[in-house]
A and B are shown apart, each in its own frame.
Chain A
Amino acid sequence: SSELTQDPAVSVALGQTVRLECQGDSLKTYSATWYQQKPGQAPLLVMFGKNQRPSGIPDRFSGSKSGITASLTITGAQAEDEAAYFCASPDNNPKHPVFGGGTQLTVL
């Protein structure tokens, strides 16, 4: 099965821009999906497809992909954005989703 690699931890100053990255061979073929997870809560879908935000997700969140690297950018990070972020993609078998290890984002 393929793997998705994420930096374990990233920090950003309040109001600044941060890019979270996700790398994996499956991203050559498929887009990445991004989930935000706060302690004690279920994951929340924040980005999918080519920069598609679900209803209710602020437009400071944006997504992109280049080669085998997908990125989730938060422009003007807010305190409430502090959370773990997981990327996901179908595996070599498109019916098998695989998740990255997650990035813990700290907003300073």
Chain B
Amino acid sequence: QVQLQESGPGLVKPSQTLSLTCGVSGGSFRSGSYYWAWVRQPAGKGLEWIGHIYTTGKTDYNPSLTSRVSISVDTSDTQMSLRLSSVTAADTAVYFCARWYQSFYFHYMDVWGKGATVIVSS
């Protein structure tokens, strides 16, 4: 059974780069026909898709964040990274990684990490 776990600094200074890692157990980021996504949620608010990486390594990002975001998978295929540059207080949120299956008929995120809280503050 695939499980995901986010990790990274809980506090980032404004203008710096937020870096988070998502580790997978019970599987690999290169196996299956899945997208591996980052989703964030400011406190008390809704969910926002940040971007994803496919098993081939192809990435796609939310147009509102594309100039600041980068997602990659390491050579072990078990660690996915999120980098978000030039952060502001608006980037304060819980960050989730999730497995996303997408086809014309179905699209769902069926495996989620527990989430990592990131606060942007000096």
Q: Does A pair with B? A: yes
Chain A interfacial positions (CB closer than 8 Å to B): 1, 30-31, 33, 35, 41-45, 48-50, 52, 54, 86, 88-90, 94-102
The total of chain B residues at the interface (CB under 8 A) is: 25
Assess whether B105 is in contact with A98, with CB atoms less than 8 Å apart.
no
Assess whether B49 is in contact with A43, with CB atoms less than 8 Å apart.
no
Assess whether B48 is in contact with A96, with CB atoms less than 8 Å apart.
no
Assess whether B106 is in contact with A96, with CB atoms less than 8 Å apart.
no
The digit string for B12-56, where 1 denotes a CB below 8 A from any CB of A, is 000000000000000000000001010000000011110010000
Number of A-B contacts (CB under 8 A): 69
Residue from B49, B96, B98, B100 within 8 A of A98 (CB atoms): B49
Closest-by-CB residue of A relative to B113 is A42
State in angstroms the CA–CA spacing of A100 and B114 once bound together.
Answer: 21
Assess whether A43 is in contact with B47, with CB atoms less than 8 Å apart.
yes
A48-B107 in contact given A42-B112, A97-B100 (Cβ < 8 Å): yes
Q: Name 28 A/B residue pairs within 8 A (Cβ), A-sorted.
A: A1-B63, A30-B107, A31-B106, A33-B107, A33-B108, A33-B109, A41-B114, A42-B96, A42-B98, A42-B113, A42-B114, A43-B47, A44-B112, A45-B109, A45-B110, A48-B107, A49-B106, A54-B110, A86-B47, A89-B107, A94-B104, A95-B35, A95-B52, A97-B49, A97-B102, A97-B107, A99-B46, A99-B48
